[in-house]
A and B are shown apart, each in its own frame.
Chain A
Amino acid sequence: MMGTVFSTASTIDAVLDVLTAILLLLGAFFSLVAGIGIIRFPDTLTRVHAGTKPQVFGLACILTAVILSTRNWSAIAIMVLILLFQMLTTPAAAHMIGRAAYRRERPGDEMLFVDELEQAVELAHQDPESAVQSNDE
């Protein structure tokens, strides 16, 4: 094994293996960070931040590791598709959960400098029909 290190093919293989290992460790680290954040953060909104944000980059690392490990370069297109769908759908879910969490448990005034959603929620509570109309316009 040591004798063949200096031929170019196995050197490239070794470099790709090391890159794969580093990318796998990065992805696992980001997933672990998301888990710790979900456990440690005190609020629903902060937990949305912790659970959603690191996952996309961790998934990108894992997918790149898959490509580098299998050397199946035609799978790059599918990898880009997976990343695209993940980046499209994760913010949508986080947005909906954030809106629901804001209405459910009002974040305290000490956490927010500007509260732009408060007026809209108050309007919806006071007069639902006018709020719907203003949304339609």
Chain B
Amino acid sequence: MNSVILNFVLIVVGVVFAVAALLAVYRVVRGPGILDRMIASDMLMTTLICILGVEMVINRHTTLMPVMIGLALTGFLSSVAVARYVSKKRSS
């Protein structure tokens, strides 16, 4: 009975994460400025890290933890680079 509840919860969690990722993709496609697109892609990557965690819960292993470390370390570089470029172009 318990595992049935856990399976149902996992399905719900997957659907909710899919909806969140689709909202982020919508903002990436639609976003009026490049900064909105960078925010949305940043959020998409954090959602991806969370989905890796959910996959580890489903299959009950911790193999993907180093992947999560790498993503958490390097994910912000693109946003910083784009933000630098945008503000420099504007002020010159």
Contacts and interface: CB of A to CB of B under 8 A. Distances in A.
Given A36-B23, A38-B27, A93-B80, A52 B6 contact: no
A44 B84 CA distance: 16
A93 B38 CA distance: 10
A34 to B, nearest CB: 6
Contacts, number: 181
Interface string A78-120: 1101100110011011001101110111000000000000000
Contacts of B75: 89, 93
B6 A20 contact: yes
A93 B10 contact: no
A79 B49 CA distance: 12
Contacts of A82: 49, 65, 68-69, 72
Nearest to A36: B23
A34 B54 contact: no
A32 interface: yes
A12 interface: no
B42 A35 contact: no
Contacts of B38: 97
B80 A92 contact: yes
B65 A38 contact: no
A97 to B, nearest CB: 5
Contacts of B6: 17, 20-21
Interface of B: 1-3, 5-6, 9-10, 12-13, 16-17, 19-24, 26-27, 33, 35-36, 38-40, 42-43, 46-47, 49-50, 53-54, 56-57, 60-62, 65-66, 68-69, 72-73, 75-76, 79-80, 82-84, 86-87, 90-91
Interface of A: 1-2, 14, 17-18, 20-21, 24-25, 27-29, 31-32, 34-36, 38-39, 44, 47-48, 51-52, 55, 58-59, 62-63, 65-66, 69-70, 72, 75, 78-79, 81-82, 85-86, 89-90, 92-93, 96-97, 99-101, 103-105, 124-125, 128
